[in-house]
Structure 1
């Protein structure tokens, strides 16, 4: 796993790059948050959809809710880059829509959109 920092106007965003699944359970998400905070002092993260277990996108597992609640508790903002068009679940589509209306979590189609969203929130 590599961590790259993107800086714009005093805002720092950590971009996580990995060829494997980084988050399989809640503890992995907490470990990632702690690693990024310690190594590059960032509280905004860009993560690729391919770095999350597919269970994250099955809302009935409650994994997404549990992870995102931990990130809220610690003041970490997250953008997940990927293609979500292949999901049929209305509840997942609604969850993604609602998340994108806020200032904490974003589900976007490109790294550029992720950076724009995260740099825009303070």
Structure 2
């Protein structure tokens, strides 16, 4: 499967293929995620397996730098998949995931169904 733009509740989402290029540097994120998102996506959903382990080690600064690029380009980044192997290493990543999920620019979700639920409009009332 290739990267594909789909609409979830009217929002164009670039769903990235798990077999795509690894994201090990900020330039990788720009080339393989941000650049591709300009096909018309507002949200970029990237499987956890696409990210180098350094992304999940906050001491490297990679996650922060990649997330900042998405904010700079007014795109939303969604990391999709099981984070449990990475969350075992300490509380810093767990805290960052919790904070990110409270915001609107970067989310960590277990699957695409959870992303669709997050993109659903708020019930009127």
Shorter chain as denominator, the TM-score bin is: 0.7 to 0.9
Deviation (angstroms), 1:118:
4.3
Deviation (angstroms), 1:104:
0.7
Mapped pair 1:44 → 2:43: yes
* Alpha-carbon distance in structure 2 between the residues aligned to 1:119 and 1:7: 11
User: Cα–Cα, structure 1 residues 59 and 80, in superposed 2: closer, same or farther, change >3 Å?
Assistant: same
Deviation string for 1:41-83 (max 9, x for gaps)?
A: 1121110000110100000000000010111011010111111
* Alpha-carbon distance in structure 2 between the residues aligned to 1:118 and 1:21: 26
Aligned to 2:98: 97
Deviation (angstroms), 1:103:
0.5
RMSD: 1.9
**Structure 1 segments unaligned to the other structure (5+ residues):** none
Aligned to 2:15: 15
Aligned to 2:64: 65
Whether the 8 Å CA contact 2:4–2:14 is kept in 1: the answer is: yes
User: Cα–Cα, structure 1 residues 24 and 9, in superposed 2: closer, same or farther, change >3 Å?
Assistant: same
Aligned to 1:53: 52
Aligned to 1:116: 117
Deviation (angstroms), 1:24:
1.0
* Alpha-carbon distance in structure 1 between the residues aligned to 2:118 and 2:60: 27
* Alpha-carbon distance in structure 2 between the residues aligned to 1:92 and 1:35: 27
**Structure 2 segments unaligned to the other structure (5+ residues):** none
Q: How many residue pairs are counted as aligned between the two chains? A: 119
- TM-score normalized by structure 2? 0.85
User: Cα–Cα, structure 1 residues 72 and 9, in superposed 2: closer, same or farther, change >3 Å?
Assistant: same
